[in-house]
Structure 1
């Protein structure tokens, strides 16, 4: 299983519409990637770092897929509308990380 994290760096004066991201953009992700291998979607509105200071990112999406090939196939099939929608909620360029998921504890 892999996790694709799309995050948005905190920047002075940057625009980010959390309501749009959590509702409309998340719905687009489900619509365009759901039939192409998306297993799970989580949306974060980042509040602070562990010390209560402003966080280095304002928001993130975490998407789980079986493997990198499944993610790439999903983005080929449905990624264009998602990328075109970014300007509707932010002027911050998205940063994408792909991680291998290893479950160390499940309570």
Structure 2
């Protein structure tokens, strides 16, 4: 199994609508990628660590697929629509990391 982590590293004066991301965008992911092999979706909202520094990310989505080929096929089918929805919740460019799930 693989996990695709899409995280949003903040910049000065960035915007991020957590309510929209956790409800509407998450549902869009489930609707579009669920039929394309998405096994599980987890959404994170980063909490402040108390230092006053910007966190490494403000939010992240973790998408689980059987393998990289399944993820690539899903994104070929629905990636454009998911990417276009970003303007509804943030001005942050996401960072994507694909990992092999060990445990």
The TM tier, using the shorter chain, reads over 0.9
Check the 8 A contact 1:33/1:79 in 2, yes or no.
no
User: What SS does the aligned partner of 2:3 have?
Assistant: strand
Any idea what SS the aligned residue of 1:12 has?
A: coil
For residue 41 of structure 1, what is the aligned residue in structure 2? 41
CA RMSD of aligned residues (A): 1.0
Q: Which residue of 1 aligns with 2:102?
A: 102
Instruction: Could you tell me which runs of 5 or more consecutive residues in structure 1 were left unpaired when the two chains were aligned.
Output: none
- Any unmatched runs of 5+ in structure 2? none
| Runs of at least 4 residues off by over 2 Å | none
Give the TM-score normalised by structure 1. Answer: 0.90
Aligned to 1:73: 73
Cα distance, 1:48 vs. partner?
2.9
Provide the residue aligned with 1:12 in structure 2: 12
- Structure-2 residue corresponding to 1:3: 3
| TM-score using structure 2 length | 0.94
Alpha-carbon distance, 1:36 to partner: 0.5
Alpha-carbon deviation of 1:86? Answer: 0.4
Provide Cα deviations, 1:52-92, integer angstroms capped at 9, x if missing partner. 43421100000000000000000111111101100110000
Aligned to 1:29: 29
Asked if the contact 1:42/1:62 (under 8 Å) is kept, the reply is yes
CA distance in 1, matches of 2:45, 2:76: 27
- Number of aligned residue pairs: 101
State the alpha-carbon separation in 2 of the partners of residues 56 and 96 from structure 1. 13
